[in-house]
Amino acid sequence: MGFLEIVLIIVLSIVALLIFIALAVYFKIKIMLKKAGFNGNILNEIKKSSNELKNSEKSISGMTRLLEPSIIRDFKEFNKEELYTRTEKNLRTIFSALENSSMDGFSDMPLLYDIVKKEIEDYNNDHIQVEYNDIVFNNFAIKSYKKEQAEAIIEIAVSLRYTYKKYQDGRLVKSKDNYQTRYIVKFIYIIDEELFTKSKKVYGITCPNCGAAIKTLGDKNCAYCGAVIKDINLKAWFMSSYNEY
């Protein structure tokens, strides 16, 4: 027997040993999984578990029980359920605006008008269309609360799911079925208009006629074109931002 034949036999023996070990490990894992309640093909079970994890409802953390008494002490008419309802309504309006490139329904969200309008413009410039379907809201919680002289701020955490599709130049580039996600939504209550205007920039409020920025919340007319500006009821909670996390 020559040297090459010996080397070949050794290599084949090693390969056979590795195959035997791999099979032994495979069957051992299969037996363990079966005892643990898994049935069928291991890869299918792993894929199934992965899909279940992906489609499971996102958990949210909050401090509702701790913070709610403080908010009610400062704002006696505060009702968290009403704010949760507004959170859902506003997010649905935003999704619809992004989907239809329309700013209808933003009378209750003056602080978000420019933010969403800019996002729509970016989508249009990049030839992007999005779709939100089967939207379901799961849970809400108050995440934080802060009150200062000029303003009070509440952050709401919300978990939801929807089917999402993104197209660019008519071609589907992203698709998420039963997508589970979470958002942080911020609401602001302006306590002192003068102090707020001095310490903060006015959130994205623009003239409905010429689009110029409104620099003072109490302005009745646009400083640039003179158009009448609709009064904003400052003694209310306004949604000022929303972020997926």
What pLDDT does residue 10 have? 80
The one-character DSSP state at 219 is -
What pLDDT does residue 105 have? 84
What pLDDT does residue 233 have? 47
The reply to whether 239 and 130 lie within a common domain is yes
What pLDDT does residue 55 have? 61
The reply to whether 169 and 197 lie within a common domain is yes
For residue 17 the two structure tokens come to 């040993």
Query: Residue 196's domain is classified under what CATH number?
Result: 3.10.450.240
The reply to whether 124 and 42 lie within a common domain is no
**Amino acid making up residue 46:** I
For residue 100 the two structure tokens come to 């239809």
The reply to whether 65 and 184 lie within a common domain is yes
Out of 28, 53, 78, a domain closes at: 53
The reply to whether 74 and 191 lie within a common domain is yes
**What is the residue range of 68's domain?**
59-244
Total domains in the fold of the chain: 2
The reply to whether 18 and 45 lie within a common domain is yes
Distance CA 60, CA 177 (A): 21
Alpha-carbon dihedral sign for residues 39, 41, 42, 43: negative
H or E stretch covering 8 = helix 3-35
Cα–Cα nearest to 218, from 198, 238, 197, 204: 197
Tell me if residue 231 falls in helix, strand or coil.
coil
What pLDDT does residue 37 have? 65
Tell me if residue 135 falls in helix, strand or coil.
strand
What pLDDT does residue 58 have? 86
pTM for this one? 0.68
The reply to whether 122 and 182 lie within a common domain is yes
The reply to whether 145 and 29 lie within a common domain is no
The reply to whether 160 and 213 lie within a common domain is yes
Give pLDDT tens digits for 44-100.
655 555 555 556 788 898 899 999 999 999 999 999 999 999 999 999 999 999 999
Distance CA 104, CA 94 (A): 10
State which residues of the chain have pLDDT below 50: 204, 231-234
Asked if 190 and 196 count as a contact pair (C-beta separation under 8 A), the reply is yes
The reply to whether 16 and 133 lie within a common domain is no
Distance CA 9, CA 81 (A): 76
**Amino acid making up residue 152:** A
